[in-house]
């Protein structure tokens, strides 16, 4: 299976971006379980099923603020595993919310036992005796919601200290994006914070090919449910939404292309007139805090040092 997956990955790199769209439109509608697509590398929801990666991601967000043990946290989009519950528990979380748009996470108990063993070798104390994923989550004080925005709505007001996501916000449906951010504002404590990494590249060829299409096509149900959807909200617009929903934003990292990865002339009219400052941003990280909370000038909205994307 491993050799087969490697072969498929090499094949995918040779397929032009435009050919991936009809292929995924068809594949997404075949009566095949997500687990098989994941093993083949055709559809995948992140890399949080790898402990080293999960630990690195969690710490990068966790260290954006200061939290005492016993905190409550919320991850948007845990993806292919619930190992974040174990990692957050290991770092002192008392209550953990994991919210996703579907049931993508592995339900293999042995996988989580392996994660526990690896955490213990690093000196962390986590729940180790469980016979089901549900029991593991319960022992961590975690809840797993698989109904997206409705899951966020069920979290109590002002109950969360820390919200984070890793390359997830670009996948939130455009029509639900602002309400999603508003829900963060509702559930986050006055002194709480959010930390998010956003990938603005298309998920076809890591460029801006997603900006070629009119809104009516890209936001259609057919495209939104076929594994390559991004909401196409650009850098400045996303920051504006954060501000509109009551957050002060600090852009802690920003990566840009040196030149347009997709010719401006090929973009749809809606995007063609956007300034370079917006279109050249390929990814960024942002820390969010309630504007009502006194913050230093360092946390006020500003651009951060920028790195160059060599893709």
Phi, psi of 110, rounded to the nearest 5 degrees: -65, -35
Q: Under DSSP, is residue 260 helix (H, G, I), strand (E, B) or coil?
A: coil
Confidence of residue 2 (pLDDT cuts 50, 70, 90): very low
Q: DSSP 3-state assignment of 53?
A: helix
Is there a contact between 231 and 174 (Cβ–Cβ < 8 Å)? yes
CA 137 centroid distance within chain: 20
Q: What is the pLDDT of residue 62?
A: 97
- CATH class of the domain whose range is 47-309: alpha beta
Reading the block at residue 277, the tokens are: 């400052």
Average per-residue pLDDT in the chain? 88
The full set of domain ranges for the chain reads: 1-44, 47-309
| From 24-33, 96-105, 153-162, 240-249, the region with the lowest mean pLDDT | 24-33
Beta-strand ranges (E) seen in 48-187 are: 71-76, 93-99, 142-145, 160-166
In the prediction, which pLDDT does 29 show? 79
Alpha-carbon distance of 287 to 60, in angstroms, equals 11
- pLDDT value at 244 more than 50: yes
pLDDT at 27: 80
Burial tier of 75 (Cβ tally within 10 Å: 0-12, 13-18, 19+): buried
The candidate with the shortest Cα–Cα distance to 149, out of 115, 123, 172, is: 172
Find the mean pLDDT for residues 45-56.
76
Q: How many helices (H) and strands (E) does the chain have?
A: 14, 8
pLDDT in tens, 150-182: 999 999 999 999 999 999 999 999 999 999 999
Structural tokens at position 15: 């397929």
Q: Please classify residue 18 by burial: count the beta carbons closer than 10 Å to its beta carbon, then call 0-12 exposed, 13-18 middle and 19+ buried.
A: exposed
Rounded percentage of the chain residues whose pLDDT exceeds 70: 84
More confident residue, 225 or 155: 155
Q: Residue 195: which of 45, 90, 66, 296 has the closest Cα? A: 66
Q: Taking 50 as the threshold, does the pLDDT of residue 3 lie above it? A: no
Which residue carries 């500003």 as its tokens? 302
- pLDDT, tens digit (0-9, with 9 covering 90-100), for 76-86: 999 999 999 99
* 172 secondary structure, DSSP code: S
What per-residue confidence (pLDDT) applies to 69? 95
* Three-class SS of 174-201: HHHHHHHHHHHHHHEEEEEEEEEEEECC
Q: Give the helix ranges, DSSP H, for 158-309.
A: 174-187, 215-218, 221-224, 235-244, 269-272, 276-279
For residue 37, with 0-12 CB atoms within 10 Å meaning exposed, 13-18 middle and 19 or more buried, which class applies? middle
What is the structure's pLDDT at 4? 44
Three-state DSSP class for residue 127: coil
Locate tokens 């979290």: which residue? 155
CB count in 10 Å sphere of residue 63: 10
């Amino acid at each position: 299976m491993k050799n087969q997956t490697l072969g498929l990955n090499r094949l995918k790199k040779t397929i032009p971006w435009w050919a991936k769209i009809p292929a995924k439109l068809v594949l997404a509608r075949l009566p095949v379980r997500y687990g098989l697509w994941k093993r083949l590398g055709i559809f995948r929801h992140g890399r949080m099923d790898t402990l080293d990666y999960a630990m690195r991601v969690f710490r990068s967000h966790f260290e954006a603020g200061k939290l005492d043990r016993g905190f409550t946290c919320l991850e948007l989009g845990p993806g292919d595993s619930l190992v974040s519950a174990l990692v957050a528990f290991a770092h002192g979380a008392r209550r953990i919310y994991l919210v996703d748009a579907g049931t993508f996470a592995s339900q293999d108990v042995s996988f989580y036992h392996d994660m526990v063993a690896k955490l213990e070798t690093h000196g962390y104390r986590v729940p180790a005796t469980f016979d089901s994923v549900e029991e593991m989550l319960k022992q961590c004080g975690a809840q797993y919601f698989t109904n997206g925005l409705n899951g966020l709505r069920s979290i109590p007001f002002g109950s969360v200290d820390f919200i984070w996501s890793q390359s997830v916000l670009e996948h939130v449906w455009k029509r639900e994006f602002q309400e999603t951010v508003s829900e963060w504002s509702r559930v986050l404590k006055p002194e709480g914070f959010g930390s998010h990494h956003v990938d603005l590249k298309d998920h076809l060829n890591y460029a801006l090919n997603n900006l070629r299409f009119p809104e009516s096509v890209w936001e259609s149900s057919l495209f939104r449910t076929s594994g390559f959807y991004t909401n196409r909200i650009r850098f400045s617009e996303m920051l504006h939404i954060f501000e509109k929903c009551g957050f002060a934003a600090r852009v802690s990292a920003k990566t840009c292309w040196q030149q347009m990865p997709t010719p401006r002339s090929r973009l749809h009219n809606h995007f063609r007139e956007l300034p370079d400052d917006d279109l050249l941003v390929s990814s960024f990280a942002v820390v969010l805090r309630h504007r009502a909370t006194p913050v230093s000038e360092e946390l006020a909205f500003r651009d951060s040092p920028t790195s160059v994307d060599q893709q």
